Structure formats: structure tokens, C-alpha cells
Amino acid sequence: MSVNVTEQYPNYSPGLEGVPGGLTKISDIDSDRSSLQFRGYDVHELAEKCTYEEVAYLLLYEKLPTADELHAFRDSMNRARKLPGEVSAALRMAPRHLHPMDQIKIAYTMQAGFDPNYGHEDKGSNIRKAIRIIASAGTIVAAGHRLRHGEEPIDPDPKLSTAANFLYMLTGNVPDEATEKLFDSTLTMYAEHGFNASTFACRVCVSTLSDVYSGIVTGVGTLKGPLHGGANEEAMRMLLEIGSPAKAEAWIRDALVNKKKVMGFGHREYKKGDSRALWLGPRAKELGKRIGNPTWGQIADTLEKVMLEEKGLYPNVDFPAAFLYYNLGIPIELYTPIFVVARVAGWSAHAIEQLENNRLIRPKAIYTGEKNVKFVEMKDR
């Protein structure tokens, strides 16, 4: 007869679910109210009224910037977007079949050594590193994608924002203002989200007094796993499999009967709906109508209705982000790397916060193996 592990070990929580892992002033997730705040500001208001650069500044400096501070911050970002030649060379040397997330790890590992503050671990140096990390993320992802597909990278334009620059470096076309703002808002939505797996991994890394770049690479490696990143990619592949609104209800009901995983629904932190999805969903559907392709939004309406009726589950942010990115013409393989482009701001803020009041993160394990086993000499084994 099997014993329930949580009954056998009452102080154990699988996956550390619900176990406080530390103190933070960076973001707050209120599951009961389905709200998310960055340093006290509602993420919806930030997405609507601020740019990603303002949000990155807020995460790093603990306050929203003045006009002069934002101008200086943007100037620093623009000067840091272009990759050192050696980093570009490393991306060129990478195998074409390499996963985009592995390209990012290579690029940041190389970039660390060319950072002017390499080897300096004071807060000011770490913030300057963070600015370079955030500024170069879109360049790394866009350049890596173009190289994988046999195209030459496009240099960033110092006159463009983080959001506009990414789309420009990816396609060669400067997006219109509405497209830029919509994409920018998704970067804000993805910028930070508490002690999720990649953020916690980043904090564990720097808690050893490793450097910020190592923490970021750890975060990238953790996000690569499909149980954390990749949900937006799988959600879009699911929508493509369904194909049309007419097939949506039959597909989702069959999936539920056969216990097939439905991507983009449910979230460990939100029981009454992911606040980011509640904000982004209508905007993603409106984009589809505006460009004359409402199909994905119509399929989404059906899936959302049935999932709520049958399972009590709401969509998470990855669901509307998937068809929003698809309608913007962004390749599906880049959805998780875009997560990185946004989340490096949150990872950097957490790395800096961890180091400010550091204690090595070292949880206790519950041993379940044999004890006091008698040693057997080689001749008798």
C-alpha cells in the first residue's frame, strides 16, 4: 500500500509550492484578487501608461524615472544594444540547429567578459551590467534567429525603443506606433513575476556570490524547460492544430475527455485568473480583428468558455500572447526567447536584491534512501 508522501513528511511541499523562499520588494502576486504589482504599481497601469524602458528602470532603481532620468536611461540602453564583435562571432560559430535559448546562453557568457564592469560586484557596477544585459537581449535573439536562417543580422537603430528595435532587427521593418505599443506592453507583462523557477534559480546562483551574468545565464537555462517557458509556443501550435472556430468546441471537449494537455490555461499562482491574461486577451483579439484575421481570437473565445465551464480554469498570459505574436508575424520558435528579452529586467533586479542582503540559499533535503548498509568488498559483490 503506497503512502502519501505529504502525509509521511508533513513539512514537505513538492516543488516547494507555497513555501516562502525569501523576502522581496520587487513584485507582489495577489492570488485572491488576481493582481500583479511591480514595486507597488499595478502591472495593467504600467503596461498601458509606461514603456518597457520605464518599467525596467522601476525594477532596477525602485522608482519610476523622471523625464531626465528616462532620457539618460534610454541613452545608456541605446549605446549598449549593439553586440561586441566577439559576441557576434560566437553566434556565427554556433550550429544552425542550436536551440535559440542555447544561443542566448552563449552570447551572455561571451558578453560578460567584454563588459567594462566585469569583475566588479558592487551595486553600481551590477546595475550598469544589468542595463547592458537588458539592452542587448533583443539584439541577441534577433541576430541569432537571422543567423540560424542564413540571414545577416541587422544592427539596432539608436532612435528606436526596445520593442521597436526588436521587431526592426528581426524583419528590417520599423513597426507602426500601434504595433510597437502592443508589443511593448507584452514585454512589461513578462518583465517580472515573483519567485518563479527561473527567477529563483537566478537568485540561488548569485547567492553563492557568483556574478550577475551567471545568474542571467542560469535563468535562461531554467526558462528553456517546457514546464516553465515554452507554454506560449505550445499554445499557438495547439491553436494551429484546431485550425478554425468551427472545430474548436469539438476539439477542446475531445481533449478534456482524453485528458490531453490544454496549453495556456491555469496557473499555480492564480486561482481566479491571471491578471496579465485578463488585460492582454481583449487586446490580442482586437489586433486580430484590426488586421482582418479574427480566427485565433474566435477559437480562443470557445476554449476559454469550455475550460471555465468544465475545469474552472482561466487562461494564463501565455495564451493571448501566443496568438498576439502570431498575428504580428513573429515566428513561433521566438516566443520563449521574447520571454527572455522581457524577463532579464526582473532577473537582474532579483540578482541585485539578493546580493544586497545575501544569504546562501541552501534548502534541506529529506533523505528517503536506505541507511547503515553494510559495505561489501569488491571480491564479494
Sheet with strand 27-30: strands edge to edge:
27-30, 35-38, 41-42
Distances (CA, A) of 360 to 12, 15, 327: 21, 19, 44
Of the residues 184, 211, 274, 318, only one is catalytic, namely 318
Q: Are strands 27-30 and 41-42 parallel, antiparallel or unpaired?
A: unpaired
Of the residues 115, 267, 274, 350, only one is catalytic, namely 267
Of the residues 228, 254, 274, 350, only one is catalytic, namely 228
Residue 318 is among the residues annotated as catalytic for this protein: yes
Q: Can you list the positions of beta strands (E) in the chain? A: 27-30, 35-38, 41-42
Alpha-carbon gap, residue 39 to 166, rounded angstroms = 26
Position of cell 534610454? 74
Q: Which long-range contacts (CB under 8 A, 24 or more apart) does 39-43 make?
A: 39/63, 43/188, 43/189, 43/275, 43/276, 43/279
**Helix and strand tally (H, E) in the chain?**
17, 3
What is the Cα 62 distance to its own chain's centre? 20
Evaluated on CA atoms 160, 166, 170, 174, the torsion sign reads negative
For residues 247 and 239, the answer to whether their CB atoms sit within 8 Å is no
For residues 226 and 335, the answer to whether their CB atoms sit within 8 Å is no
Q: Which three cell numbers stand for residue 379?
A: 571480491
Contacts of 115 (CB under 8 A, 6+ apart): 129, 132, 213
CB-neighbour burial class of residue 368 (10 A; exposed 0-12, middle 13-18, buried 19+): exposed
Closest of 58, 56, 65, 24 to residue 41, by C-alpha: 58
| Residues recognised as catalytic | 228, 267, 318
